[in-house]
Amino acid sequence: MKTYDAIVVGAGHNGLTTAAFLAKAGLDVVCVEKNDYIGGAAVSRNLYKDWWYSNCSYVCSLLRPEIYRALELHKHGLQVTPYGGSVTFMENGDYYGSYHDEEVAYREMARFSRHDADAYKSYSANTMRQCRFIRDFLLSTAPDPTSFKPRDIKELIRIGGKFMEMGEDRMYDTIRFWTMSVAEYLDEYFETDVIKAAFSGSGIIGTALGIHSPGTAYVLLHHYMGEVDGNVGSWGFARGGMGAVSKSIAGAFQAAGGELRTEAGVDKIIVKNGKTTGVALENGDEISAEVVVSAMDVKRTFLNCMDKNDLPASFHKRVENFKIRGSSGKVNIALDGLPTFPALPEGSSLYYSDMHFIDSMERMERAYDDWKAGTWSKDPYIDMVIPTTSDPTMAPPGKHFMSCFVQYCPHQVEGEPWTNEQRDAFGKSVIDQISNYSPDFRDLILHAEIRTPQDIEAEIGITEGNIFHGELTMDQLLFNRPVPGYAQYRSPVDGLYMCGSSTHPGGGVMAAPGANAAREILSDLKRPSTVPENFGDD
């Protein structure tokens, strides 16, 4: 039987990224995927006639440009097109829009509060400062503070140096920032409820926390970090849907000689004498390799696909305790035409933006209250985009695809599996909310796919359907991600590595975990790295 140099488990964007960088280094790599399509949660699915659905992840901004460039993803068909701003519709018939043009953005904010419009610059600078601090560490392995290895010490000194550079006041700010809630952070700058509500969404997306929960300010940063072509904080659509991201990485992988195998779900990661020797597939086949890399989340990897006896007990316990809670669902809709939003001026650039329908901090927090009570938000936070307003490839001309990211939505309803009626009721809460601001919307719906965390888990495999493969809270970030002592992509089993979003720097279609894991694996194999370095902005 053939022995590979490495097996990557899971053909999502991170698994494919690790696979591509390993293959580029000359390794003989096979990437196995349980589904009959690749992409994991970065997919374009043909679920209705000529419509292509980005039915999981839906925007592309965190994808590291260094990786894009190193893998020449444009030659494998990837194109990312930025889109314009965002809008929050208000119950009183007004709306708050954000715009790319600085002065237009200012005027819009000043319409609500001159104070807030003037405060925006320092808010932006302070957020950017935090962003700069963390961005540098995205494409590098988190140092272990308990290690005395020269590289860990060197990296700790570098982080320390960057931290000290800020000066006393800003060091205090930074420590506060990492632990405070997004609501408190925004309160320090703004007075207008709708503006705070509009900004706070980024603090909770993908997180089972509310806007008043400590640690959500950091989540805001995680979203702010994205960039499209040097415009930090700007967002983009992958042409052809999010599947174009995984397809292009797979293209780079295959061009480097890699092998993709679909419908090849892994039953067990095989361990002999504390060392992995390969994987056993669900269909009974075995594939052998000295290196196995799991792109699955940390729980699925160690709790579902391994024998408990192959792992140290304390490690196993920590994996069990890892927080990876279902908090969001999706409603994906094929539309017969572009819905109108009477609040917006005709031809407004906000038609191309992402849309939200919660206009107060109170409503944001109430949405979380439902989740805490074990059910879906009756008045949910929706992050809605219509990528076909700029992408001509996802639906027939004049027709549209709408993606609604919906929060909060629990993995189970009051501790019980979802019923079909409950799923429909969840979908209805979304359609009802949008209809309040777009009277013709409902009649334009041709097809809708409603996905609860339970559905996402069943299809993609992510535990509880958590989009980040684990909460982005301080106790699960950097050297704590996923488990203290195992934050450098290695596991307690020799030859077994992790490369999914459960690892540093976390979720989003960023591909940084995949790239960082490849760097560590190549280093262990004493091969030159094929992984690019951070561009840096200084």
Partner 1 sequence: MKSQPVHQGRLKTPFYSRLAALDTVNEWHQWKGYSSADSLYCEDTEYFAIRNATAVFDLTPMTKYRITGPDALDYLNRLVTRDMAKIRPGRVAYAVWCDDQGQVIDDGTIFHLREGEYRLCSQERHFAWLTAAALGFDVTITHETEDVAALAVQGPTSFSVLKNMGLKGLEDLKPFGLTHLDFQGVELMVSRTGFTADLGYELWIDPDKAEALWDALFEAGKLFGIRAIGTHALELARIEAGFLAAYMEFLPADETVRTGVSRSPLELGLDWLVDFKKPNFNGRRALAHEKRNGSTWRLVKLDIEGNKPAHHSYIFGNEKANKGQIGFVTSAAWSPVCKQNIALGTVRTPHGKPGDSVWIEIYYQREMHWHRKMAKATVVDKPFWFPPRRGATPPGPY
Position 65 contacts partner 1 (CB under 8 A): yes
Q: Min. distance of Cβ 34 from partner 1 in angstroms?
A: 31
**Radius of gyration for the chain, computed over Cα atoms and rounded to the nearest angstrom:** 22
Residues in 315-374 that interact with partner 1 by CB under 8 A: 349
Looking at the Cβ atoms of 312 and 392, the one nearer to partner 1 is 392
State which of residues 81, 122, 179, 314 lies at the interface with partner 1 (CB under 8 A): 81
- Report d(CA 486, CA 319) in Å as an integer: 11
Stretch in the footprint of partner 1 (CB under 8 A) among 32-40, 182-190, 503-511, 529-537: 529-537
Residue from 239, 356, 411, 423 in contact with partner 1 (CB under 8 A): 239
Which residues are within 8 A (CB) of 225 and not within 5 positions of it... i.e. 6 or more apart? 62, 131, 134, 135, 138, 232, 233
Give the interface segment with partner 1, choosing from 74-82, 241-249, 270-278, 427-435 (CB under 8 A): 74-82
- Give backbone dihedrals phi and psi of 462, rounded to 5 degrees, phi first: -70, 130
Q: Which stretch binds partner 1 (CB under 8 A): 157-165, 181-189, 225-233, 244-252?
A: 225-233
Residues linked to residue 8 through DSSP beta bridges, in sequence order: 31, 293
Candidates 207-215, 272-280, 391-399, 507-515: pick the segment binding partner 1 (CB under 8 A): 391-399
Return the structure tokens found at 457: 């888990």
- Name the residue nearer to partner 1 (CB basis): 205 or 395: 395
Q: Which is nearer to partner 1, 191 or 229 (CB)?
A: 229
Task: List, in order, residues 6 or more apart from 73 with CB less than 8 Å away.
Answer: 67, 245, 248, 249, 251, 252
CB atoms within 10 A of CB 506: 26
SS3 call for 254: helix
CA nearest to 434, candidates 373, 343, 329: 343
The answer to whether residue 228 forms part of the interface with partner 1 (CB under 8 A) is yes
The 10 Å Cβ neighbour count of residue 75 is 11
Residue 374 or 392: which CB sits closer to partner 1?
392
> From CA 70, how far away is CA 76, in angstroms rounded?
12
Would you give the binding string for partner 1 spanning residues 371-390, x where CB under 8 A is met? -------------------x
Asked whether position 82 contacts partner 1 by CB under 8 A, the answer is yes
Considering only 229, 263, 320, 475, the residue that binds partner 1 (CB under 8 A) is 229
Binding window for partner 1 (CB under 8 A); candidates: 7-15, 52-60, 61-69, 209-217: 61-69
Instruction: Answer yes or no: are the C-beta atoms of 118 and 112 closer than 8 Å.
Output: no
Q: What angle do CA 130, 175, 218 make, to 5 degrees?
A: 50
| Contact flag: residue 68 with partner 1 (CB under 8 A) | yes
Q: Which is nearer to partner 1, 239 or 481 (CB)?
A: 239
- Tell me which stretch binds partner 1 (CB under 8 A): 66-74, 328-336, 357-365, 405-413: 66-74
User: Of 43, 73, 260, 271, which lies in the binding site for partner 1, with binding defined by CB under 8 A?
Assistant: 73
The one-letter amino acid code at 134 reads: I
Residue 490 interacts with partner 1 (CB under 8 A)?
A: no
* Least distance in angstroms from the C-beta of 377 to partner 1: 34
- Using CB under 8 A as the binding rule, whether residue 528 contacts partner 1 is answered as no
Question: Looking at beta carbons only, is 74 or 272 nearer to partner 1?
Answer: 74
DSSP 427-448: HHHHHHHHHTT-TTHHHHEEEE
Residue among 342 and 536 whose Cβ is closer to partner 1: 536
**393 forms part of the interface with partner 1 (CB under 8 A):** yes
Closest distance of CB 400 from partner 1, Å: 11
User: Could you tell me how many residues of this chain bind partner 1 (CB under 8 A)?
Assistant: 28
| Cα 340 to Cα 238: distance, rounded to the nearest angstrom | 24
Residue 489's Cα: distance from chain center in Å? 18
122 binds partner 1 (CB under 8 A): no
Which one of 3, 46, 49, 74 is in contact with partner 1 (CB under 8 A)?
74
Give 420's contacts (C-beta < 8 A, 6+ positions apart). Answer: none
Quick one: tokens of 421? 């009626």
Q: What are φ and ψ of residue 465, in 5° steps?
A: 65, 25
Closest by Cα among 60, 97, 88, 56 to 364: 88
- For position 417 contacting partner 1 by CB under 8 A, the verdict is no
273: CB partners within 8 A, 6+ apart? none
Cα distance between the two ends of the chain? 50
CA 406/CA 384 separation, integer angstroms = 8
What does the binding site for partner 1 look like in residue numbers (CB under 8 A)? 65, 68-69, 73-74, 79-82, 84, 100-101, 228-231, 239, 349, 390-393, 397-398, 535-538
